[in-house]
Amino acid sequence: MNQPLALTAAQKAGPRLTLAALGAVLAILVALPLLSLLPADNPLQVSAYTLTLVGKILCYAIVALALDLVWGYAGLLSLGHGLFFALGGYAMGMYLMRQTAGDGLPAFMGFLAWTELPWYWYGTSSFLWSMCLVVLAPGLLALVFGFFAFRSRIKGVYFSIMTQALTFAGMLLFFRNETGFGGNNGFTGFSTLLGFGITAPGTRAVLFLATVALLVISLALGWGLARSKFGRVLTALRDAENRLMFCGYDPRGYKLFVWVLSAVLCGLAGALYVPQVGIINPSEMAPTQSIEAAVWVALGGRGTLIGPLLGAGIVNGMKSWFTVAFPEYWLFFLGALFIIVTLFLPKGVIGLLRRKGEQ
């Protein structure tokens, strides 16, 4: 009869173990950029390549967390989160392009023989306004889309298809040169950020630290939401929306809030991704990108906070190895991974770890 006791002990050890692991990871993440500042001949020096790779994966991890807030908690599977990520990235890219162009027009506009900035480029030479755009562009789009989708009670697979169509439409729009975002080349060739050289080790380190900070903030936000009554309403909404309405809750406001929040987090992640990676183009809006994000969440374990981070880390870690070793097989592998997870790991890696922990 001491099984319940053992169970509680495991449950008690669980959070402490998780917390210790989180602390260790955080310490490493803070150390990485500092180590990258060491002279190149130091054995502990972290290369710019590694730092960029990890920074990129951290940005994806934020997307995974944001997606999990709407999918894992509220039951809204978005297959269009890549769009919000890209919009944040483009907003940051506009600023970087203006920095590069100085007083002139961004180079690609010259090729189009444009002599004046389009109206939506006004103010983008200001860092502050660009940061507002990073939040506003994905936030407003999510607000308008969500308002109509939730008002019309679009749910389940219909909702997923609509989000997928949305990101696809976004990609087609941004592919056009006339849209004014550099067509299929997008933005690249950045030089400075706030006057600092964009590839300078110091800038890279600060961008990396900012990404870590955003991740920690997102995690804290998600944790707060999940523990609040709001989070419980979302869970109820996911499982029995009708019942919730007859309890007197209006699901639309709840969905809209978490949906917009999630989009804004993606936009912020995109804004940090672009200066680290040095390029943004419409391929970020490709439908497969958003589907991949869903795979990260499913693999890691949806409805948990750490799961999506693990998933993003594992899949992207594998991807960076795969695309060097067998580039043509990556998509097959990704598909197989998704099937395996769906069939054998319904609760993801986190579920597996938890089961191990309880044994």
Partner 1 sequence: MHATPGHFMLEPAYDPNSGTGTGRDAIGLGRASGPGLDVRHGTLLTLEDINVSFDGFKALRDLTLYIGVGELRCIIGPNGAGKTTLMDVITGKTRPDSGQAFFGESLDLTEMSEVQIAQAGIGRKFQKPTVFEALSVFENLELAQNADKSVWASLRARLSGEQRERIEDVLTTIKLDASRQRPAGLLSHGQKQFLEIGMLLVQDPQLLLLDEPVAGMTDAETEFTAELFKGLAGKHSLMVVEHDMGFVGSIADHVTVLHQGHVLAEGSLEQVQADERVIEVYLGR
Contact between 248 and partner 1 per CB under 8 A: yes
Q: In whole angstroms, give the CA distance from residue 237 to residue 107.
A: 49
Contact between 209 and partner 1 per CB under 8 A: no
Identify residues 39-78 at the interface with partner 1 (CB under 8 A). none
Task: Give the per-residue SS3 of 317-356.
Answer: HHHHHHHHHCHHHHHHHHHHHHHHHHHHCCCHHHHHHHHH
Instruction: Return the number of the residue (196 or 241) whose C-beta is nearest partner 1.
Output: 241
Contact between 350 and partner 1 per CB under 8 A: no
Place of tokens 């912020």: 268
Contact between 236 and partner 1 per CB under 8 A: yes
Q: Please report how close the Cβ of residue 242 comes to partner 1 at its closest, in angstroms.
A: 7
Q: In whole angstroms, give the CA distance from residue 194 to residue 126.
A: 9
Q: Please report how close the Cβ of residue 140 comes to partner 1 at its closest, in angstroms.
A: 11
Q: Please report how close the Cβ of residue 304 comes to partner 1 at its closest, in angstroms.
A: 12
Q: Look up residue 256 and give its two tokens.
A: 């809209």
Q: Please report how close the Cβ of residue 192 comes to partner 1 at its closest, in angstroms.
A: 38
Instruction: Return the number of the residue (55 or 231) whose C-beta is nearest partner 1.
Output: 231
Contact between 338 and partner 1 per CB under 8 A: no
Residue 54, judged by CB atoms within 10 A of its CB (0-12, 13-18, 19+), counts as buried
Q: Out of 27, 118, 200, 239, point to the residue binding partner 1 (CB under 8 A).
A: 239
For every residue of 162-180, DSSP letters joined together read HHHHHHHHHHHHHHSGGGS
The region of 86-94, 192-200, 229-237, 288-296 touching partner 1 under the rule CB under 8 A is 229-237
Cβ distance 13 to 25 under 8 Å?
no
Contact between 319 and partner 1 per CB under 8 A: no
Contact between 154 and partner 1 per CB under 8 A: no
Instruction: Return the number of the residue (198 or 265) whose C-beta is nearest partner 1.
Output: 265
Residue 206, judged by CB atoms within 10 A of its CB (0-12, 13-18, 19+), counts as middle
Q: Look up residue 42 and give its two tokens.
A: 């130091």
Contact between 136 and partner 1 per CB under 8 A: no
Contact between 143 and partner 1 per CB under 8 A: yes
Q: Out of 2, 3, 115, 242, point to the residue binding partner 1 (CB under 8 A).
A: 242
CB proximity list for 137: less than 8 A, separation 6 or greater: 87, 88, 90, 91, 267
Taking alpha carbons only, the member of 52, 120, 81, 109 closest to residue 286 is: 81
Contact between 245 and partner 1 per CB under 8 A: yes
Instruction: Return the number of the residue (72 or 106) whose C-beta is nearest partner 1.
Output: 72
Instruction: Return the number of the residue (179 or 235) whose C-beta is nearest partner 1.
Output: 235
Query: What is the identity of the amino acid at 312?
Result: A
The region of 46-54, 202-210, 250-258, 262-270 touching partner 1 under the rule CB under 8 A is 250-258
Angle in degrees, CA 166, 167, 171, rounded to 5: 120
The region of 121-129, 207-215, 228-236, 351-359 touching partner 1 under the rule CB under 8 A is 228-236
Q: In whole angstroms, give the CA distance from residue 66 to residue 84.
A: 11
Contact between 355 and partner 1 per CB under 8 A: no
Q: Which spans of this chain sit near partner 1 (rule: CB under 8 A)?
A: 143, 147, 150-151, 225, 228-230, 232-233, 235-236, 238-240, 242-250, 252-254, 256-257
